[in-house]
Structure 1
């Protein structure tokens, strides 16, 4: 059985990469290999994407903790513990509503490595577990290297709830070299990384963003999801101050005659939380794969 649903298949056919996608798709499995388990235990940051069980809106969230707060607890199970994990799991209707589909991604800017694990969330007393449906790694393309981080004592401010981007939020988007994208489909969810030089995300109106879809692994998991379900969540981080900007809305992909792809996102709601994360990362070294699009 193919690892791809109809949305991903449609874009693979449209872009002429189906054979390559079939080859790359063999890397998707359910098992967390020992090297992947070791990678997870080194990470202080995990991105989780899911649909809100009450509103149906899709969000991408950042969870942090001391290395070891994310770990493999079986060949097909990941455990996430800590205050942030408990708060995230508390929004889930399980057991009354059953397990919730989530997509997760761990990115290590120090090594430019990333790992994705998609599956079903089950709350626990200390956080939650995810029973894996898909486990895979991606290449380091477009990941900015950040050599180190430090844990700092911060008290998160109350989130600002917005329906349009203000000046501060727009400035964070325009200066971003990285964001995370959460998408969903009928049988699951996915969280992915997007990177480029500052300015690669453009604000075309207070409620609309665009970004180029750079050539990647040919799987088209995110764009395939958007093909069948336009709901999306975006997460921008300030890697110095710990501020997070979460956006939820809908996205669609536009295809140019020359083959270039642009994703257009329309905002429904935003949450901006100053000092949300207790991590301060060093300045970035931009990926050599980034097009020269700095503003």
Structure 2
């Protein structure tokens, strides 16, 4: 490690030519939760958590409950009441002490987000995370949405597979937001956000996706993790129906001419679910960085 970054991250920063900028931004990564971060977490109805399951496959899962289910219980600790819904790929991992996790709280109402990476502790009410990294990201590429109501219909996991169905491929093409979980083994797990106009995620085949890497904060934590370990988990939420599409597989980054970058993802496992109690959201107001404000 060099400060906040491991060798995989440093290698990408060097290749892209942003080491100096990344070193400056990296100073914002700490281990403590300040008052503002604690207040932000307490208002959130969602938490995305990334980790490896018992077989070593990476997944990203969406936890949903009334605000207050995630709260800071110390300067470097959060507690989560409950856990993932039945049938979720990370149900066992999040009930196992010592699991390395990456978490991201994203508020579509305010276009704010916060990331926290650490280690799971099991509690009577659910689980806690001892933080090793805590930091905020800018609102770039986040879509603004407003909460509507709770989904009343749902039947849990509706489909498992090893490739995307036609309907699932359409859902990926229509997505303007997804989350990606990655790891670098001893350096822990991370959960991050990707946003763009619908179609920014390409479906190359029922088992292969690709998306561009937009200019961001110069950290390159996700691409750095993929340099060290290709395992990845993707989460595509359908904000308007409450459905969730989870994919596990392997990814690699392609570096093109002129500084362009693209990530290619190979699907190995698919879980589609529709659970009652998911919060439904309005159609998006797209990020101004994407050049369009309405659907």
TM bucket (normalised to shorter chain) is: over 0.9
Once the two structures are superposed, residues 136-167 of structure 1 have per-residue CA deviations (whole angstroms, 9 ceiling, x without a partner) of 00000000000333223233333311111111
**Residue number in structure 1 paired with 2:283:** 283
CA contact (8 A) 1:174 1:199 kept: yes
1:79 equivalent in structure 2? 79
User: Residue 180 in 1 paired to residue 182 in 2?
Assistant: no
Local SS of the residue matching 2:227: helix
- Find the counterpart in structure 2 of residue 245 from structure 1: 245
Matches of 1:243 and 1:75, distance apart in 2:
34
Partner residue, 2:257: 257
> CA RMSD of the aligned region, Å?
2.0
| Separation in structure 1 between the aligned mates of residue 52 and residue 245 of structure 2, nearest angstrom | 17
> What does 1:1-295 align with in structure 2 at a 5 Å threshold?
1-52=2-53, 54-82=54-82, 84=84, 91-92=92-93, 98-186=97-185, 187-275=187-275, 278-290=278-290
In structure 2, distance between residues paired with 1:16 and 1:83? 40
Q: Secondary structure at the match of 2:84?
A: helix
1:252 CA displacement = 0.3
Residue-by-residue CA offset, 1:173-215 (whole Å, 9 max, x unaligned):
0100000000001220000000000000000011000000000
Residue 171 of structure 1 deviates from its aligned partner by 1.1
Is the Cα–Cα contact under 8 Å of residues 86 and 125 in structure 1 kept in the other structure? Answer: no
Three-state SS of the structure 1 residue aligned to 2:13 is helix
Change (3 A) 1:94 1:175: closer
Query: Contact 1:59/1:246 (CA < 8 Å) preserved in 2?
Result: yes
Deviation at 1:277, TM superposition (A): 5.3
Q: Distance in 1 between matches of 2:77 and 2:142?
A: 26
Distance in 1 (CA, whole Å) between partners of 2:291 and 2:206 is 25
Distance 1:224 1:83 in 2: 28
Once the 2 structures are TM-superposed, how far is the Cα of residue 291 of structure 1 from its aligned partner?
5.7
Residue-by-residue CA offset, 1:248-271 (whole Å, 9 max, x unaligned) = 000000011111100000000100
Cα separation, partners in 2 of 1:229 and 1:57, compared to 1, 3 Å: same
TM-score, scaled relative to structure 2: 0.94
Q: How many residues align?
A: 291
Q: C-alpha separation between the residues in 2 aligned to 1:194 and 1:161? A: 24
2:254 aligns to what SS in structure 1?
A: strand
The 2-side partners of 1:287 and 1:29 are apart by: 27
SS in 2 for 1:63: strand
CA contact (8 A) 1:116 1:135 kept: yes
Structure 2 spans left out of the alignment, 5+ residues: none
